[in-house]
Structure 1
Amino acid sequence: MGKINISFMAEDTFYSLKKDIGQYLPYFKKNKTDSQWINDITSNPTYITKRYEIEDFTLKIPEGNNDRLTEAENSKIIYEALKDLPPYVLANKYFWAWIMFEKCYRVALIMMKDKKETTFNNQWLGASTDRRGFFFGLISRMYFRVALTIDETLLDRYELTDYVLENPSRFRELSWRNIVSCRHIVRGFIKGIKKVNDVYNNVEKGVIYARLAKELSTLGSIKVLDFISESEIIEFTEKIYIGLLKEKRLI
């Protein structure tokens, strides 16, 4: 498809949307495939072109908001297109606003379960500018789920990615915590729960993942997780996970 320059949404457009997102709900509902209406929000240019280039991409159209298979395919498409961008771009809310409206508009609307004011504010413009905000974002979280789970040491580098995308609750509770910044911790956590689930035929409950993520964070308050190996994270996760399953009498 060729290369394109990335852009950032202009600040005045971004904050006009964020401030009055409720009044723009009819525009989203009326324009389900075309985001050009956003160009009329302010008299200034909607986007600011940047020097970085990416391979242009087109997402597959999901059948509905629970189409996990298409979401997984699109997550990989987004990751492959954006993976070479510098961290400061990938952590910029104006960049993700451009991606949402210019490259992923139709898909993002289909993926939304509830098209309410708060949902648009959280999933399109971010509830905050920190890590938690990016994991609220419909498209940004798709990228980061892949970026944090891809593993070049495996025969299928997307093995852990597919496992997470199949059931995002396996990763969601960890994504809210600071330790998610360390890829080896994320991969060790996912490998640990996968090993246990494979042995016990996928006996899993979301509330247990919340407890498990908390236990891993507690370990981080005792030790410097940056210096703990991935294999140690796997062993710790297995041990605690099995203990929690026994506590709930699930095994």
Structure 2
Amino acid sequence: MNLFSADGRIEDPVGSRPHVGRAAICRFYDTFIGPRQVTYHPDVDVVMGSTAVRDGELEIVMGSVRLDVPVYIRYDIGSDDGGAEPRITALSAYWELPAMIGRFLRTGVGALPAGLQLARSLLANLGPVGALGFVGGLRGTWPQGKRRLETFLADARAGNEIAVHRLLAKGCRITLGDDQPMPTAELIARIAATRPRKVIASGFHLVAGLQQTDRRDILFAEVDPKPFAIKRIRYFTDHT
């Protein structure tokens, strides 16, 4: 747990209640990681400033049940009170809780003991409020939001700026990374040179990998669901 800053934060999946501080992170570990076998299979990493984004897949083994979960994981790196030792200040895991539950239930009777063990761990380590906070990860835009983002990306690749603006909320902020303002025209030009791949909906956030010949960029979008509108875009790339 010393990898995290004293006020470190884990949101896993994004959309659920965050775990803030080392004590809460320890309880998170004891609930979700320690009792099962979790293996991360990396595909691509994108590093920009003090942020690293990992595109890969989680392999989760719970008793006789094995699940493969596509994921994007964002790490924000800082320090404790300006110290020299780098620490993780925030870990945000973007994966689809409803889809994972569906695959879990389809595994059949083997899911029952694993499900009961998880339920006991949730209540014992996080309490009723924490358990409800985890279930909050079921809220989101899900398939409809993914389809809308795919439409947005297709319009951008076609250079259709009018159609792109229709899906942007008024005042939508677009940045390269977290902070550098990016005009809509530049965003469209960047997307036009890519081929979209894995799209994930996690809470009210959508994430897409954008494949180029020699690299992969990653786009994060925060959305309003009804009516659907993209209110915030962060574009991460190794090549600025």
Per the shorter chain, which TM-score range?
Answer: under 0.3
| Structure with the higher fraction of residues in strand conformation | 2
Taking structure 2 as the reference length, the TM-score comes to 0.24
**Which entry has the higher C-alpha Rg, 1 or 2?**
1
Taking structure 1 as the reference length, the TM-score comes to 0.24
| Structure with the higher fraction of residues in helix conformation | 1
